[in-house]
Amino acid sequence: MLEAQGLTRRFGGVVAVDQVSIRVTEGELVGVIGPNGAGKSTLFHLITGHLRPDAGSVALREQNVTGLPPDRRARLGLAIAFQAVR
């Protein structure tokens, strides 16, 4: 299970992600939708460790991974695939 609780990220005075909590169980498919600038990519960067949250936590299989860098999270099965730019 992947669980994020109270994730928050600010860039100066702009709050990109504000206290987002989500729980995804194994085998479950979840979509995140919203307009440009809504914080979707920032949320995924927080979950995968490419950005550090200002507040909140991320756990994978009940293990807190909030302080782990992206490569360590990837070894645990938590990663992001970036879209190729042409």
Question: Could you report the per-residue pLDDT of 42-71, keeping only the tens digit for each?
Answer: 999 999 999 999 999 999 999 999 999 999
Pick left, alpha or beta for residue 73 (phi over 0 → left; psi -120 to 50 → alpha; otherwise beta).
alpha
Contact partners, residue 21, CB within 8 Å, separation at least 6: 3, 4, 5, 6, 7, 56
Distance, in Å, from the CA atom of 67 to the CA atom of 36, rounded to the nearest integer, reads: 28
Residue 84: predicted pLDDT: 77
**Superfamily of domain covering 2-75:** P-loop containing nucleotide triphosphate hydrolases (3.40.50.300)
